Structure 1
């Protein structure tokens, strides 16, 4: 029944108005854009993000190197973790040897329960400064996938909100037209019944 009501807008019909045809085309365009356009936007943006993230990963892997560092303090379990939070690494002071042979110190995230003097792996730049671990393929893939999904969701939201606002404008116009027509026909009907 509902499909039959929607199809009448496409067939020739004396009750069909131009605004009804516009409404039908709007629904068709919104459906096509949601089914084809939003996923295409997600794939396109995800592919672009994958390329950019891969380039960044290669640059980071060239510029960052793992070295062994020595803890200069114990990594005790902070009060917040004892209270039930689930963080497994905390900023701790470490000492390492830079590529130029100089001994450097700094702070990096270290798993809890390690003692002073224990050795951990840290990542440094070519000049010896501490840095984060470089991106790996899994990180690149997950970031690109998330970016693509957000792009698809954003495109879908734009399509749905645009269609909703356009439909609202068509409904306002339809109601205005009906009111104008009723203003012409209404008095004639009241005259016949009275």
Structure 2
């Protein structure tokens, strides 16, 4: 980005090469894109993601219902360490349980519950769909918003990184062109270097 600082000073400098001026303009364009386009892209991506996730959260909250399940007896099997509500990492184990579906029918099945020492007769809350099948907890509006913010930030950083990668690629090409011109100029004047009467 140092090329941007001297952009206006170089315009009338006889030592300024065309590639210097091009590099400065490329750096200025990249700076503007990183400062303006990257945040705008991140905001748009975040807003679109938020709208989609909020709609999914509303649908899940309409279609998923909290019910109380009652432990019948341990179902056997190994204990697992699953993430429960709010990042809870308590040991969980499968149990045979009974619950009432939203349509009023009784259901029985194997569920995982926390704490691991659940005894017959203990109750715990689960989420079911309209048919009474156990499902994951519905997405909340706050969680959807958090995911959308992360998506927006990720998109902004990705856009800024892409702009910087393009800038570096262009500058690398300009530097290579400078060296090629320098090599050609040296090839023309090199054989006469240091010779008297060679017009130097």
Matched, 1:179 2:187: no
| 1:113-170 deviation per Cα after TM superposition (whole angstroms, max 9, x unaligned) | 4323211111111111111111112111111111111111111111111111111111
Match of 1:156 among 155, 160, 163: 160
Q: 1:90, CA displacement in angstroms? A: 2.4
Q: Does the 8 Å CA contact 1:68/1:96 hold for their aligned counterparts?
A: yes
| 1:164-188 deviation per Cα after TM superposition (whole angstroms, max 9, x unaligned) | 1111111111111111112223333
- What is the match of residue 40 of structure 2? 40
- TM-score, normalization: structure 2? 0.81
Q: Which has the higher contact order (CA 8 A, sep 6+)?
A: 1
- What is the match of residue 101 of structure 2? 98
Q: 1:21, CA displacement in angstroms? A: 1.2
| 1:44-74 deviation per Cα after TM superposition (whole angstroms, max 9, x unaligned) | 1011111001100111111111111112345
Give SS of 1:120's match. strand
Residues 110/30 of structure 1: CA separation in 2 closer, same or farther (3 Å cut) = same
- TM-score, normalization: structure 1? 0.83
Give SS of 1:25's match. helix
Gaps of 5+ in 1: none
Q: Does the 8 Å CA contact 1:99/1:127 hold for their aligned counterparts?
A: yes
Residues 46/124 of structure 1: CA separation in 2 closer, same or farther (3 Å cut) = same
2:103 and 2:180 map into 1 onto residues whose CA distance is 80
More off after superposition, 95-104 vs 64-73 = 95-104
Q: Does the 8 Å CA contact 2:38/2:156 hold for their aligned counterparts?
A: yes
Aligned residues: 189
Gaps of 5+ in 2: 83-87
Structure 1 residue runs of 4 or more that deviate by more than 6 Å after TM superposition: 2-5
